[in-house]
Structure 1
Amino acid sequence: MSSSLLQPTHHDTYPFIDPCGQLAGSAKGKSVLVTGAGSGIGRAIAEAFALARAERLFLVGRREAGLRETRERIGGKVGLVGDGFVVGHGEGVRDGDLGGGRAGGLEGRRRERREGCEVLVMSGVDISKEEDVEGIFASYFGSSGSAEEGKRFPPPDILVSNAGTSGATEKIADSDPKMWWRDLEVNLKGTYLVARRYIRALREYYGSTTAADGQGELEGRIINVSSNASWRYVPGRSSYAASKLAINSLTEYLDGEEGSGVVDSTTGHSKNKVIVRSVALHPGGVDTDLAATLPEDVRKRILIDKPELAAGTCVYLSLPRADFLMGRFVNCTWDMEELETHRERVERQDLLKSKVVGMFDTLPAH
């Protein structure tokens, strides 16, 4: 990444990415799945999409109380539709309602749409466990046939993988192997598992190939929360940095593999019906629970950004105008309107990707 492209400009939301301002209504009719939505950045992201008039939010996290609070906050801002039935996945998490009654379980969601946002939550989820991730999609999403029966929803239009963890700030020689590896399990493996299952859910629901009439492709979008630690040396943060650097690479691979279809030479249409674009986002320096292990002087120096900044940037990145950033790393403290003026340079020089400085991009032919 070239430091001359853009410098950090913002610490809070601004008009260009404001879900109640220039992005008002930009998520209308969309459904969004947010992991780690029970507090901090994840909560702000969920609220931003609701304010941008998303039709339905699926909020996933570990703690039921935090997810309930996120849902209540959204209700206070835009109003709620549906029962918000909690699907308890982990041990000690019960099935229950969120104040609207169970109304026949999932069947209770079959009602006429009205103003507001439908918010459904699932607690007790550890995204590093394949069975937990499978539980999200088995509970909420199904085949097109089951959706028509009203028992499941179509897969979300947008996936925001925000759930993560951060172990102790220690030198590698002094670290606890289990704690060190846990950052990789949650941040990298968890992000991988959710993205993998999301893409499969889209394929299962919509089919893997285009219809015979060659109608346009359907698009999903993945926003993976990364960090400036992925490219900047921070003493004692080796496990966290390694996990976030790997997320940048994972995102590039996701977009490279799923972001465009092979065109059929006969029809001129993509052979893939479902296109999934992916981007990695640094959410700024936000004082969340994950930052608790940082030294106090570091927290005061770098944790100066509001979660609403990352949230509004996520809404922006979900839009077609941000397609030039897919497969890349984006810092939410940059000005997105200014970043758009660099589009030609970003694409031509293939910027905002993880590379080894000084190495050739391609090996010489033999």
Structure 2
Amino acid sequence: MTTSAANTAAVSTFISTTYTDTYEYISPKKLDLSGKSVFITGASKGVGRETALSYAKAGASGIIVGARSDLSSLVTEIKEAAKTAGRKTEPTVLSLKLDVTSEDSVKAAADAISTKFGGKLDILINNAGYLDDWAPIAEASTYHWWQTYEVNVKGVFLCSKYFIPLLLASEIKTNILTSSVGAIAVYPSASAYQSSKFAVSRLAEYVAAEYADQGLVCYSLHPGGIKTELATNMPKEVQDKVLTDEVALPADTLAWLGAERRPWMNGRFINVKWDMKELEARKDEIVEKDLLTFRLTTSA
């Protein structure tokens, strides 16, 4: 077995119980996010869109969605999801035109949210991502290869840069970065996407190291294998192998993760396919052994 395959297998089996769809323990209907606000980037489709609906079902008071494309229908869906879930108070929903690669656009979003929500934000979900057709390095489009870094890395940097001050003014102080199990893999032709997701996971460690003493928690997250529009740019044989999960799994997990501060996970990598109850049961071991971080090892 290659090192890449061994790493992927180790992450897959770290928690014995895994899921491909949502489950009772993380159900948003069991959560109470009243009084809490969340900003989700890349919210127009896929995991981002479903996550906004999960936060509505969980009773979040403020739900901000950002994307380059139209979000008008999502605003209505968010309010309807809260109502259908039995939430008595309609959430305040703000939709923003957002390009995470533009510093001006991200700064404007932060200013708008600060004005609307009293200078603070509880949860930031850096969900916007980019994946181009895979190609060997010598055959890759320079533009699209670097565009992957512009969205996946620069976008996370800019959103963290401008929203950390708002997060620090809140109670939950949670910054979640969407990474991928690809961060620990080396799949030929996937150099742009997988290396950018590795960089995202390392950014989570830096945010944790720099702001933990102020109460901020940050972690990177594998959202499972979801057949989104973005994921269909992968080769067909890879899609058939890895795109086996339902979008409700990452969406509900993200709502569960935002329900409370979890400093013991600060800077760590989380797989949404893991059973979250079992993950919590191992928190002492995870902290003591400093597990789920990215390190070079020379041990056999």
| Same fold, TM-score > 0.5, yes or no | yes
**Equivalent in the alignment of 2:4:** none
Match of 2:228 among 288, 291, 298: 288
Question: 1 or 2 for the larger relative contact order (CA 8 Å, sep ≥6)?
Answer: 2
* Bigger Rg over Cα: 1
Alignment of 1:312 with 2:252, yes or no, is: yes
List per-residue Cα deviations over 1:233-269 (Å, max 9, x = no partner).
Answer: 22211011111000101001101111224xxxxxxxx
For 2:148 and 2:17, locate their aligned partners in 1 and report how far apart those are by CA, in whole Å: 27
**Equivalent in the alignment of 1:240:** 193
Structure 2 residues not aligned, in runs of 5+: 1-6
List per-residue Cα deviations over 1:7-27 (Å, max 9, x = no partner).
Answer: 56101100110101xx332x1
The code of the aligned residue for 1:24 comes to L
For 1:78 and 1:62, locate their aligned partners in 2 and report how far apart those are by CA, in whole Å: 24
Cα pair distance change 1:253/1:19, threshold 3 Å: same
For 1:7 and 1:352, locate their aligned partners in 2 and report how far apart those are by CA, in whole Å: 15
SS of alignment partner, residue 122 of structure 1: strand
Give the paired residue count. Answer: 288
Question: Superposition pairs for residues 1-366 of structure 1, below 5 Å?
Answer: 2-3=10-11, 5-7=14-16, 9-20=18-29, 23-25=30-32, 27-64=33-70, 67-79=71-83, 115-123=89-97, 125-142=98-115, 153-202=118-167, 206=169, 218-261=171-214, 275-320=215-260, 322-358=262-298
8 Å CA contact retained: 1:316, 1:322: no
- Percentage of matched positions with identical amino acids: 31
For 1:238 and 1:135, locate their aligned partners in 2 and report how far apart those are by CA, in whole Å: 32
8 Å CA contact retained: 2:46, 2:228: yes
Cα pair distance change 1:298/1:36, threshold 3 Å: same
For 2:17 and 2:296, locate their aligned partners in 1 and report how far apart those are by CA, in whole Å: 23
> What's the CA shift for 1:140?
2.7
More helix by share: 2
List per-residue Cα deviations over 1:188-234 (Å, max 9, x = no partner).
Answer: 0100100110113456xx5xxxxxxxxxx944110111100000122
8 Å CA contact retained: 2:167, 2:174: no
The code of the aligned residue for 1:141 comes to S
Structure 1 residues not aligned, in runs of 5+: 81-113, 143-150, 207-216, 262-274, 361-366
For 2:16 and 2:225, locate their aligned partners in 1 and report how far apart those are by CA, in whole Å: 15
The code of the aligned residue for 1:227 comes to S
8 Å CA contact retained: 2:268, 2:292: yes
For 1:298 and 1:349, locate their aligned partners in 2 and report how far apart those are by CA, in whole Å: 33
Cα pair distance change 1:31/1:300, threshold 3 Å: same
> What's the CA shift for 1:321?
6.4
> What's the CA shift for 1:323?
2.9
For 1:322 and 1:18, locate their aligned partners in 2 and report how far apart those are by CA, in whole Å: 18
For 2:265 and 2:186, locate their aligned partners in 1 and report how far apart those are by CA, in whole Å: 24
List per-residue Cα deviations over 1:114-143 (Å, max 9, x = no partner).
Answer: 7211111012x210111110110122314x
For 1:32 and 1:223, locate their aligned partners in 2 and report how far apart those are by CA, in whole Å: 11
8 Å CA contact retained: 1:39, 1:70: no
> What's the CA shift for 1:79?
3.9
List per-residue Cα deviations over 1:33-77 (Å, max 9, x = no partner).
Answer: 00011111001111111111000111000101xx22222222222
For 1:334 and 1:356, locate their aligned partners in 2 and report how far apart those are by CA, in whole Å: 24
TM-score, normalization by structure 2? 0.90
Moved more, 177-186 or 152-161: 152-161
SS of alignment partner, residue 125 of structure 2: strand
8 Å CA contact retained: 2:121, 2:166: no
Cα pair distance change 1:152/1:285, threshold 3 Å: closer
Q: Alignment RMSD, CA only?
A: 2.1
The code of the aligned residue for 1:180 comes to W
**Equivalent in the alignment of 2:3:** none
The code of the aligned residue for 1:11 comes to T
TM-score, normalization by structure 1? 0.74
8 Å CA contact retained: 2:40, 2:126: yes
For 1:189 and 1:359, locate their aligned partners in 2 and report how far apart those are by CA, in whole Å: 33
Runs of 4+ in 1 over 2 A off after TM superposition: 1-5, 151-155, 200-203, 319-323
List per-residue Cα deviations over 1:142-163 (Å, max 9, x = no partner).
Answer: 4xxxxxxxx6643211000100
